[in-house]
Structures are given as structure tokens and as C-alpha cells.
Structure 1
Amino acid sequence: MERTARDSAVLHAILEAAVDAIVISDENGNIVETNEAASRMFQYTPGEMVGQSVNILMPNGVATQHDSFMLHYRRTGTRHILGTNRDVQGRRKDGTVFPVHLSVGETSGASQRMFIGIFHDLTQRKTAQEALARSQRLDAIGQMTGGIAHDFNNLLTVVIGNLELLQQRTTEDRQAALIQDALESAELGAELTSRLMIFARKSSLKPERTNLRTLCEETLALLRRTLGSRYVIKTDFADDLDPVMIDPVQLQSALVNLALNARDAMGERGELLISTANVVIDDSYIAQETDIEPGHYVRLSVIDNGAGMDAEAKKRAFEPFFTTKADTGGTGLGLAMVYGFVRQSGGHITLYSEDGLGTSFGLYFPALPETAAGRAAQGGSAASKAIAEGEVVLIVEDNPHVRKLSVERIRALGFATKEAPSGDEAYRMLKSGVHADILFSDLVMPGELNGYDLAAKVAAEFPRIKILLTSGYASDIVTNSMAEGQSYSVLHKPYRQAELSARLQALLAGAAPG
């Protein structure tokens, strides 16, 4: 009896210490025990899975295959999935499917055989692999494009040179006109190759010590005339921007390109937000912003409330000659040029877009070392200092890894946490009596309630709960398109721990987070 009790205690300790999900089922496929990691991964409450079929953790097609494999094994003893490791798909309680690595083992209990499944969530690894593949694809396209552009430039040099010699020697007006047309076409080809060289990061930049705010203000004077009165341009410029080393002419060209793309996406009218800020990319950012090296940056954001991009457009947005505006004369070189310029400047570019809700570009330029060093000591310890005494924050986020990161960051500030994968689920939790002092919700989520809809219901039905929203858009532009007449402050993704701490502290103090 003593050994049985000890073995049971050891098993329980192993289950709870494991970071991967562990699910134990009987020979009929019914779950008999799980660990806390399984509850978090599959979004069930502790104990809710026990007694149900393991098929609830699989997409329908996989569940059917699993039943046939297990039936065949019981009849013949032939193994298909036992003792193997494979990448499969898991299904959460809300029906969303995600990649997992599964290993299955078997043991014989007192009365029947038992099966142990260990699940490792591959979502973050898959995301990183896709980002790396995208970066490698763009690099490969850049190398190929640079080589073609270089060779083409050599050919154009010969063409233009010979045309100019002919132009000097001809005296006939008709021939001169033909030569001039050919020269202009050749010069257009040269302009095209110069744009391709920018994407390939082989153009000749002339970097200068630059204040992005000053440069943006100068460019906006031109943009306001170009865009016209139907498009409202809003700005949010930080006062103490760190200087950066960039080519001012190329930066202005990039900003104009992004603004004109936004105009086309917005249709007949719209709103454009251009903002600048000092940001620090640290380990917490890496979970949200793949392919950005840690360090001090100055971020230029260009955000519109236009049509947004679908998954295919986001995937190929920076590829040269890819365009969604072929019918209106788009060349597909604008974003490619912006991408090449930013990367050649030692920076990074991010794209956040939701179909029908607009697009946000973030251009990150390294801050000059002397200014970055001066800021390195600012706010480090205060960012992780506890500011709460156990108040409960309800975290609403559909991305499981961002949600997990948010839980860790908010707990580090002294808060207790509850979490929900959607606005619908968060509202059901509150209606069922779940206590929360603060609602911290993403803006764009699946289901009937987006972040603004959820905030409006909470404000009306649970007025004691304070509200902080977060989004990759970070602007009132999307607020207007999602909840007419409502106004909520939005914390911009990605954000530093110090920013999160300041916003939550303001809520505790009763001030409006701003």
C-alpha cells in the first residue's frame, strides 16, 4: 500500500512538472488523467477532459484515422502510432487547429492496458520557420534580382551610349525624334533597374545622422498636397527621438511609397496615421516580432484604415513585381524598394494587416550607439517591479503564444490572471461570475465580439472593470471602423514591459491609460 501511494505521488509530481501536455487514456480511447499543461494547451479546465474520448483533441479527419488504428491494433497487435514520434495537428476546445509533435507509449495496468500521449506545441517553431523561410526567399530573390539588374545596367549603358552618339550625328528631324523616344525608353529601363538594386540592397546609399521626426514633417508637407483633402493624415511624433543613420532621400521615398499604397487601399477617402517612437527590442519582443535583433531602435509606423491584406498578399507583399493593383498600373516595386532600403540601412520592417481592417507597417532603424547607451539604464528595474497586490487581469488573446507571454508579463507585475481565447469566451466567463478587476484584450479576434465590442459590453454591464486594449494597429483609425462612437486607448504591439506596467498602473490609480 505504501509503495502504491508513493508511486501515485511520484506520477502526480511528474505530470505537474512536465512542460508538455500529457494525456493518459484507457484502451477504449477514454481519457483517465491529464496534467495542467494539457489543460492550458487544449484550453480545457482541469479535469474537464477526463472521461471524454481522446478524439476531442484531434481534428475530425485525424480522429477517424485514430479510431481505425486503435481498432486494428487491438485486433492484430500491429502498431501504427505506438512507439513513434510524429508531427500532427491538435484541436483546442474552441475548435482551432494547431501543430503539435506527438509521441505515444503504452503500459499495462492492473486490469487493462493504458496509453500515454505527450504533446509538444509546435506553433512557435512553425511561425519561426515560416518567418525564416520568408526572409530567405526574399534574400534569394534579392540576390537574383541584383545580378539581373547589374547585367541589364551594362546592356543599357551600351544602348544609351550608342543612341546619344547617333543623336549627335543625325540632322534629320524624323530620325532625331525616333532616337529621342528610344533614349527615353532606355532611361525608364535604367530607372527600373535602380529600383531593383534598392530591393537587392546593392544601391549606393548616402546615410546621414537624421532625426526622423524632422524628416517626416518635411515629407508630410508634400504628402498632404499629393493625397488631397479626402484623406486625413494624423501624426503621433515622440519629442525625444534618438537620431539614426539613414539616407534621407530614400527614407522620404519610402514614406511616400507607403502613403500612396495606403491611399490606394483606402479607396475614395480614409485616415492615415504616421508615428515615430523610440523602442527597445528585448527578449520579450522576440516572441512577438520574429527576425528582429535585440537592441535600441527608432520605429516609424504607417497605419491606414483601408481594405487590408489577405494571407497571400501579406506573404508576398515585399516581393518585387508582386502587386494587387495590376489593373491600375501597379508595378509591384514600391514595397520591394522600401524593404530593401530598410534592410540595407541595418533595420527591420514588420507588416500587420487584417482583411477589411487596414494595414500597419513598422520600419525599425537602429538608434545611434551613443544615444542608445544613454537609454539602456532607463526603466530596467522599474519595468519588472510588482505594481499590484493580486488584482485579477482577464487576458483575452486568440494567439496562444502571445496570450502565454501576456500572462507571464502581467503576473510578473504582481497581478493574478484569467485568460480567454476570444471575446465571446471572455464575455461568457464574466457573465458566469468570473471575477476580474481589469480587462486586457486584443483588438482583432475571431467570433462575434472583437476587442471593441467586448469592451463596450464590459463598460455597460460591468462598469467596475477597467479596460485596456492592445493591437498591432495602435491607432484610433481602426477604432472608428470597428465601433462607431466608442473610444478606447490602445497599447501598441509590440510593447515593452515598462509601457505595459505604466498603463496598468494608471488604471489602478484611476487615470485614463494614455
Structure 2
Amino acid sequence: MARSDATAQMTRAGLNLIQQALSIFDSNLRLAVCNRPYQTMFGLPQHLVTPGAPFDETIRYLATTGEYGAVEDIDAFVQVRVDQARDFVPHYMERTRSNGRTISVEGSPLPGGGWVTVYTDITSIKNQEGLLRARSEELSDQLLTHAEELARTNRQLEATIAQLEEAKRGLAEAEARTRLTTEMMPAHIAHISRDEVYLYTNRRLSTLLPGRRADITGLHFDDALGPALARRLRPFLHKALDGSACVYEFTDADSGRRIRTAFTPDTTDGGAYLLSTDVTEETQTREALAQTHKRELAAQLTSGLAHDFSNLLTIILGLQSRLEKTPLSDAAREMTAATTAAARRGGTLLDRIAHISGPRELAPAPVEMRRFFENFAALARAPLPDHIDLSITQSLPEELLMLDEGSLQDSLLNLVLNARDAIGAERGTITLRAHKVRDTWFEIVVEDSGPGFSREALAGALDPFFTTKGQAGSGLGLSMVFDMAKLSGGNVTLANHQGGARVTLRLPLRPVPADAAQPKLVLLVEDMPALRVSVREMLTDQGHQVIEADNFTEALTLSDLPAIDAVLSDIKLPGHTTGVDLLERIADQRPDLRLALMTSLPETHPLRARGAARWPVLSKPFNAGQLHAVLSQEVAP
């Protein structure tokens, strides 16, 4: 707090503690300072005790409310008082108010203009004086002494009461500020006694854990959180109650949210403070980042081995080709053919290893889930034999969700094909269900009527190269599904149900941001008509409007249109100028636009590297999801 603010606050508190009402008006007849007894003594509204309140309005209000008794001409009465104030002279007077109370009014001018007036309620003093005058002959000296002591005690008591009232008001204001501050925090703050009863809460529990009460003050730990969750957290609460601070992260079973709770001992009364925050998005990001690091490490470990192994396979295939040209017995030809097939399978396996461990980025785009499952149903039924039925049900929200549609489609198709292989030649059913888990996740559950997972499969089916299909499987299908889920910030779980296997894919529920779903006017710059038509259709399918240009000059002219929201240009344009040159010119003139490039140039090309240093670059060919992801990025600085 600044020194001037602290001084002003102490001054106000001091003025409020004195028994008399006080007001200070400046030379312009406007209120400069007053204390709280001034307002309460005369019953003034708030606007008349606010600095700057006019003196004449205060007198008019008091005259109207009967403070001065019956006043026939209020305007004339107010004018007389204003004139007296302009010609202010020191004065002291006593007057009886309309309510029968007697006050003394003492006014003094100030050196810089204006005046200060002190109002004192002297009713009790007047009553005592009257009593003493009436019975002075009958009172003894001892009684007079007692009366004086009683009056002095009463004055001390009144001062103490005023101090207590001021302290009470100060505490109430501080508590209100504290309450407002804590309730604005995006976290749950609570204080728990040694008996595990909530003594304080900022009423934010229901925002972290939907379904719980907001105000849990006075409730027991079990009643506020529920027996199951309270049982999980109680060991950490007891640590805090015993004097040891600790932090615990848990996933709420009902909502699926990840919550981090800090338990801090209260050294004053032996209780504990709890601070709980929702770290669901942080956990999702952390999981995605950890999976990315694992992929990078796997790529580093396998790249060298894969290169050498690829060379060995090439040598083996070359030698086998030479052997096949030589006269061989039937048994030798059979072995040569088997060796060749094994070497080629090894090459296919290398391609899959490169895919699962190499660089991979998801490109989330708005997806309408009803349409997604309608399209997926047609795709998934195609490879299924007639004796296997596919059932798809979904209850996801109608709004668009941000997803990498292609990766999710590949993952679900992989699960359906695995279920098909598990059912085999018997008649069976594959069921796919999608539903929301509170407002945090959505789950897609794939079940089949096959024999279910073995104990070994439940433990290791998500690991790379684990397979129960023998030579027919690579062991990379489920691990690729797991990889996609982790990169999205989700997870995959395996289980058995009464009728077969169950795979649950849990992904973050991320509705499309309002800005991302908003249609834009996009300036598309591409000199090849066929490519321009293809990209234009992608943009219009996403709800955008498109204007087109096929050269630098035309595009630069169109970019001046105020309605333009984004520019997407090919790097190579006709003539000596490039798309990079175009965006540099536009960025100087319109820094508010979203700018992006597209190209078929390799990443090592200098022109591409120059553009990528400032803007997103789409590698041709690209899909609608990648295009949307680029147009949804923040404006480059």
C-alpha cells in the first residue's frame, strides 16, 4: 500500500472513532471530509457524505426531513444558510433537534478557506444539568461526586463501544474482501478441523468436482466429498493434521477430472488447509509431451539400427535373387522362397517402425461427430464378413469437436479389424459406443463377442510388437492406437466383459473455439488452376468464403480489402516474386491477418525455410484437417 493511501486510511479510521460528528466544507461550499457519526447523527444518504457533496443540497435535505422543525419557505431558508456559510464566522451554539435531542454546534474557519464544524450530542449532559439544578439543594457533595464519576464512566464506555463498532466494521470489510478474493480464484480453498469438519470454504468445490455441494461449511469430510474419495484423501489429510505438508494428485471417478490438492498444516489450532486445483488440461498436455519424447527417443534408438538392418535386407534379397537364377532342388527353392518372404516382411516391418517412431503431429480440426460416425460405419462395414454385425451408437454433443479426424478414423478401424480377427469364423457382433464423460472427456468403447483378451494380452497388448496373431500380425496396431490417444492427451484401457473383449479410447472433450468455427474470407493465391480448385473446395466445405488470385500483383491488390481475414499463398508464383515476398508485404500493411504458405518444396529449401521462420507452411499434398489447423493458429507477431 502506498504511504499516502495508508495515511488516508488511518485518518478515516481515527475520525470515525471520535464521539462527535465532524464535517469539513471547502471554500466552494462542497464537502471535503466527514466521519461516520456525521452521517448517522443526521441520517444523511450516501451521496451527501461523499466528497464533493454540495452544502446547499445537504441543508435542503435536512430542512425537508424536519431537522430544523417546521420551515415554511425551504428555498429562502436554504439561501440564508448558504449566505451565512459564504460569510463564515467562528461560532458556538446549542440547539434542540426535532427529535428532542440536544446538540452543540461549533464551527471554525480554516486558513485555506472553508470551515470545520463539530456536532456533539449533549442531551445526557443537559438532562444531568437540569436534574442537578432542580435538586441541587438536596444533593450532598458525595452524590455530586458519584454523578461526576458516573458521567465520566459513561463517556469512557461510549468511547469503548465506538472503538469496538469501528473494529467490527473493519473486520467485516476485511472478511468481505477476503471472501471476494478467494471466490474469484479458480481453485477450491478450505479449512478443516481436527475432527474433519469443514470450518471454511470458498464455495468452489462444485466447479472442480461436479455433483458436490458448493457450500460445505459444517459438513464432515466424508459427507462433503463422498465416502470413496474421502477414503482416498484421508491419509494425506491426516499427514497435514499431524503437521506434515503434502500434495496429492487424483482422478475423480465421476467426472474424470484430474485434481491436485495441497494439504497444509494449520499450526494455530491443529487443523489443516486444503488448496485444490483442476490440472486436467495440464495433465493432458503433459501426457502428450511425454509421448512425443518417447517417440523421439524411439526414433533415435531405431534410426541407426533400421538403416543397417535395411542394408542387410537389401543384401539378403540380392543374394536370394541370384540363388533363384541358379539350378536348385525343389527343397532348396522352397527354402529360398521362404527366406525371400521373410526378408520382405522385415522390410514391411521397418516401414511400420519408421511410422510409429518417426515424427508425427496431430492436426485437430472441427468434426461433426454424427457425420463422422455415419461415414465411419460405411468404412468399417466394408471389410467385415456377413456373419459379423456392426452396431454403432453415440450420444456426443451436437457442437463440433476439435479432433484429428484421420487419426481417429484409422485407430477405430484398427480396433474393428482386431475385433473381426478375434471373432474369427463364428457368428459375432462388434459394438461401438461413444459418450461424454461430464464436460472433460469423451469415450469410444469397442466391444466384440470373441473370446476376450488373455491375461498376457491385457498386460502387454499396448506394447509394440506384442501380437497373438503369429506371423499374421505385426504387433503395432494397438500400440499405434495408444500412441494416437497419448498424443491427444488421452488414454486407452483394455478389459474383458461377459461376452468378449473391450477397448476404451478416452480423449479430451474439446469443443471448437468460437473464433475457430467462425467463417472467414480467405484470399487464396495459387497459379495452378487445378490446385486452386481443390484448395478452394476444402475451404468452402469448412464454411469459409474464398477470393482467388494467381499472381503477386493481383493478390497484393486484393489484400487491401477490409473484409479479408486470412491469406493462403503458394510459395512459388509466376515471375520474380514469391509467396514469401507477398506475405512480407501484406504483413507490413495488415498485421491483423492470418497468413500461411503452402508448397511442395522440401523442408531444406532456403525459400521454404525463410517463410517458415515467420508463418505456418503446409506441405503439399495436405488434407482439410491440416488446412483448418493452420488457419486457426494465432496471428503471427
> Rg larger in 1 or in 2?
2
Greater relative CO (CA pairs within 8 A, separation 6+): 1
Q: Taking structure 2 as the reference length, what is the TM-score of the superposition?
A: 0.38
Q: Taking structure 1 as the reference length, what is the TM-score of the superposition?
A: 0.46
